[in-house]
A and B are shown apart, each in its own frame.
Chain A
């Protein structure tokens, strides 16, 4: 089943007179359960592509269909709704809300989805357990290491059981050990729950986890290979 279907997607950034063609006619499908790695040199359009898939941005032209839903013409609130139920994000920087504890950060998407207190508690504890952060549940982000923060961020991305998790260089700010740990968690989730992962990365150590590697260059797909024999 297709979770993502991109058809001839182009994204042009315009700053003053300068136009940057960040993506230039990209077409691709992502199947449910795939663990896809987007690679390519800096400026090749990885982040731009993730943002379009994540409905954080809209293409200049082309079609983006997420979980069977055409995203063109959705207004801000409709896009927020789509994200809320379908997509989880893990960012390069440790994107936790600084005033909330690890527990509350993971709880936030559940609150936004209107889950009741009992459901939330159970789910948050399970998730923190899953990323090995249960003893740090009451800590604020500034009391956690980068790796710990990123694990909380992964737990948050998973909270609502999204079909699709998008991660933009999730290991870029982590040392090898923490990077591996976060990747292991994601890989395990992918295998256990069949959640679809797409992550952008430069990190060759990370690419080995992927079942599929899509290489971008200058806004076009240069290579698309299902590697590692998965």
Chain B
């Protein structure tokens, strides 16, 4: 057996710098793609997780006629006796937390400035509200607080509010009127998602109900599961005549769509970057073939067949690919791991509440994505080297010998 790899290794060693740069091109391409893949994955995971935690939950149980976009507190659209419904749901094994929430639309005003907000009445004791418990100042609201309010950091900053300051809150009530009342800022929270924090304020459920005239009703039961894959099963079990039950998949259709879209987008980026790097490799091999015309002629003259000549050049491509891709994968992994720790700051991208993103994105490299990328890069490199390799194998020995003389 001819040791093609030995020959290939020596041939690559003939032009160390050229070999190094081609391998480097492949390494950079691989590293870059790996980081991009990790970034996209991190972004999509964060978006899904953040949106579920802050906004959609794993399941929502609402009145069949409730419209999520209108924030109406008209009694017809609300769930009666929500604590009891929530307790029943919370009793299910698969459910981690179930809590009533009341939404109303309102306006916060301080001196002569006012900002439209969503008012959310929550049960301060529920674990489902933990994401709001990260306070930068003051304290979380309590169940029987009558004039305390929790506001987000961006809102506090834009209105110049601190803990203990007063604000006036206006609310659209159940009977289609407006009401207004002074509140005291108890605490300032941050979820790390500016788009969310700047447009919402929290009241204890009882106070929100009283203030908006919703009686003992709530807009929805917000449910978190132990395992989100079980959402469908639980939803099916809960489906009642006058309730709508929606799962996180249904509630985040846009996000699922964006996820698919970003995967397609990622494929295109892969194609472009790999296309460029692989052109570099093909070019290197092509130069190598043209320079070695005479040598190929000699090998052919002493009886080397086309297939064996192809193998010789494929072995070179394989070595180049192995070195370049291995280095690139290592680099890509290192960069991803570093940024997975510190995050990449993006700030408020101004996305709607349908798709919430943390201000910092933490790349997340999956084994799947890495293996995929490595295998693809490898195959594409070998495919690209096929052309120069075949060209070498098709040289007529006489012509190959002549050219050199």
Contact = CB atoms under 8 A, between A and B. Distances in A.
Interface in A78-103: 80-81, 83-85, 88-89, 91-93, 95-100
Interface stretch (A24-32, A109-117, A175-183, A222-230): A109-117
A156 B299 CA distance: 12
B398 A84 contact: no
A162 to B, nearest CB: 10
A70 to B, nearest CB: 19
Contact of A99 (B10, B300, B396): B10
B11 interface: yes
Contacts of B11: 99
Contact of B298 (A51, A81, A85, A97): A97
B302 interface: yes
Contact of B303 (A57, A80, A93, A99): A80
B31 to A, nearest CB: 30
25 contacts: A51-B398, A54-B301, A56-B396, A56-B401, A57-B398, A80-B306, A83-B303, A84-B303, A89-B301, A91-B401, A92-B405, A93-B404, A95-B294, A95-B298, A95-B401, A96-B298, A97-B299, A98-B295, A108-B2, A109-B303, A111-B1, A112-B2, A112-B303, A112-B308, A156-B302
B304 interface: yes
Contacts of A56: 301, 396-398, 401
Interface residues of A, number: 28
A83 B398 contact: no
- From B294, B308, B397, B405, name the one whose CB has the most chain A CB atoms within 10 angstroms: B397
Contacts of B398: 51, 56-57
Given A56-B398, A56-B401, A99 B7 contact: yes
Given A76-B394, A95-B401, A108-B302, 17 more contacts: A56-B396, A56-B397, A57-B397, A76-B306, A76-B396, A77-B307, A80-B304, A81-B303, A81-B305, A84-B302, A92-B405, A93-B404, A97-B298, A99-B7, A99-B13, A109-B302, A109-B303
B295 A89 contact: no
A111 B404 contact: no
Nearest to B309: A80
A93 B405 contact: yes
- Interface pairs A-B: 5 shortest CB-CB: A84-B303, A99-B10, A56-B397, A57-B398, A95-B298
Contacts of A92: 405
A100 B304 CA distance: 15
A89 B294 CA distance: 14
Interface in B382-405: 394, 396-398, 401, 404-405
Contacts of A112: 2, 302-304, 308
A22 B29 CA distance: 52
Interface of A: 51, 54, 56-57, 76-77, 80-81, 83-85, 88-89, 91-93, 95-100, 108-109, 111-113, 156
Interface bracket on B: 20 to 34
Contacts of B394: 76
Contacts of A93: 294, 404-405
A15 B303 CA distance: 28
B14 interface: yes
Interface in B95-116: none
Contact of B305 (A80, A88, A156): A80
A29 B341 CA distance: 81
Contact of B295 (A81, A97, A113): A97
Contacts of A98: 14, 295
Interface in B1-47: 1-2, 7, 10-11, 13-14
Interface string B283-320: 00000000000110011111111111000000000000
A102 B52 CA distance: 71
Contact of B302 (A57, A83, A99): A83
A80 B405 contact: no
B2 to A, nearest CB: 5
A93 B402 CA distance: 11
B229 to A, nearest CB: 57
A92 B40 CA distance: 61
B301 A113 contact: no
A64 to B, nearest CB: 14
Nearest to B303: A84
B77 to A, nearest CB: 81
Contacts of B298: 91, 95-97
B294 A113 contact: no
B302 A89 contact: yes
Nearest to A84: B303
Contacts of A84: 302-303
A86 to B, nearest CB: 9
Interface in B365-397: 394, 396-397
A96 B401 CA distance: 12
A163 to B, nearest CB: 14
Contacts of B2: 108, 111-112
A4 B69 CA distance: 94
A92 B7 CA distance: 24
A171 to B, nearest CB: 16
Nearest to A111: B2
Contacts of B307: 77
Interface string B203-234: 00000000000000000000000000000000
